[in-house]
Structure 1
């Protein structure tokens, strides 16, 4: 590379750096929102940093899809331009680049012109790594045109590889709901272990209710409490409730976990209508359901949140 070419690449690199810094600190009206910021924002845990969209996402990409892709693609040129200017190995280049991005993200947070987001660090660094890989694959001869074509093709191929890899990582570390489990399958602290098993049909609001999994009631008592051990899992509790048409209009329902109440309703609030609820619980040890009067629960169960590799 002669001196003129080196100067040209230096000017391109400097100009592109200024362009990127403008977008990081001043674009999208960042300066206008500083007065409205109430504190520094630091996000140290990665979350959805580069999901793999399906065909419908590609046809109708969301703003976050475009931002995620842009955060990677915009930093690809650094992986090509910097090695052209200075001889450096991959590890040294990436170490200095990641350090630089960490500094910029920190400055963004402390100046209230943005936030420190580890997702951005991952995306920006991945773009630089793609660029460096494309540079190594493309610039192997003295033929400039050939080098540029091969580098461009390498960028596309490597971006697709990163896109697919990040999608698989996201899928592997994103919790999904497991199968529905009836509540009566859990360990019960109630005196009668068979409670909830009986599934007689009844009507509420003129609709015929046919329970599929379980039915809970006071069983001719004024108040009944059901308790179940949840094992400190992360899960969603689902339940249906109401007062059958043939029963007197009285009763109440309370659901709590480890002493914290999540659902409370009375006969006055219910009426002769079907009620449905889903409740998110994280790390709860014991579930308590208290029924009074003629309120019935049915098809009560849960779906546990699990990683795909932990099923």
Structure 2
């Protein structure tokens, strides 16, 4: 779109200023037209373009029900020999299953980032399921963690306009930490 508008600017400037005999008035009109069209293109681009907001911990979204993540005095643990020191939050399971539910209605184009794994000192079993509006968005269990040793962290999970609620269900010994989100916004939002 920007390329097309740029070509139109070039054509209009050429037609206004350089079609016949070059005069001072035609040169001024040509430059004025180019500047005006350039400002218009910049305004249209800013209105259409959205930027990624800074990363914020997931607990900053209104929680609708379920347990809250651990955000203070978060313990360190080791996963595949690496010491993990969570900075923002820790989601884990203390009973048979833990559920964390967040209201994301009204938020546009969210992207969630999360780290997950099973600590070396615990039995290698568990599953994390993320639901969006009662449908499974992603499900990761211990078999998936074993098979994909090249799993890139943090995982990136995009959500879109129609999502109203996101639920994280953890069973077994899987832990999620530093779960954050970004939102696509215009610069004035």
TM-score (normalised: structure 1): 0.52
Q: How does 1:105-254 map to 2 (within 5 A)?
A: 131=16, 145-147=21-23, 150-152=25-27, 154-192=29-67, 194-198=68-72, 199-219=74-94, 221-234=95-108, 235-254=110-129
Q: How does 1:1-311 map to 2 (within 5 A)?
A: 49-50=1-2, 65=3, 67-74=4-11, 76=13, 80=15, 131=16, 145-147=21-23, 150-152=25-27, 154-192=29-67, 194-198=68-72, 199-219=74-94, 221-234=95-108, 235-271=110-146, 275-283=153-161, 284-310=163-189
Structure 1 gaps, min length 5: 1-48, 51-64, 81-130, 139-143
Q: Secondary structure at the match of 1:197?
A: coil
Q: How much does 1:309 deviate?
A: 1.6
Q: Which has the higher helix share?
A: 1
Q: Contact 2:13–2:33 at 8 Å: present in 1 too?
A: no
Q: How much does 1:241 deviate?
A: 0.8
Structure 2 gaps, min length 5: none
Q: Secondary structure at the match of 2:107?
A: strand
Task: For CA contacts below 8 A with separation 6 or more, give which structure has more relative contact order.
Answer: 2
Q: How many residues align?
A: 183
Q: Which has the larger radius of gyration?
A: 1
**For 2:22 and 2:143, how far apart are their aligned partners in 1?**
79
Q: Which has the higher strand share?
A: 2
What's the C-alpha RMSD, in Å, of the aligned pairs? Answer: 2.7
Q: 1:207 to 1:74 in 2, by over 3 A?
A: same
Q: Contact 1:184–1:196 at 8 Å: present in 2 too?
A: no
Q: 1:197 to 1:240 in 2, by over 3 A?
A: same
**For 2:9 and 2:135, how far apart are their aligned partners in 1?**
44
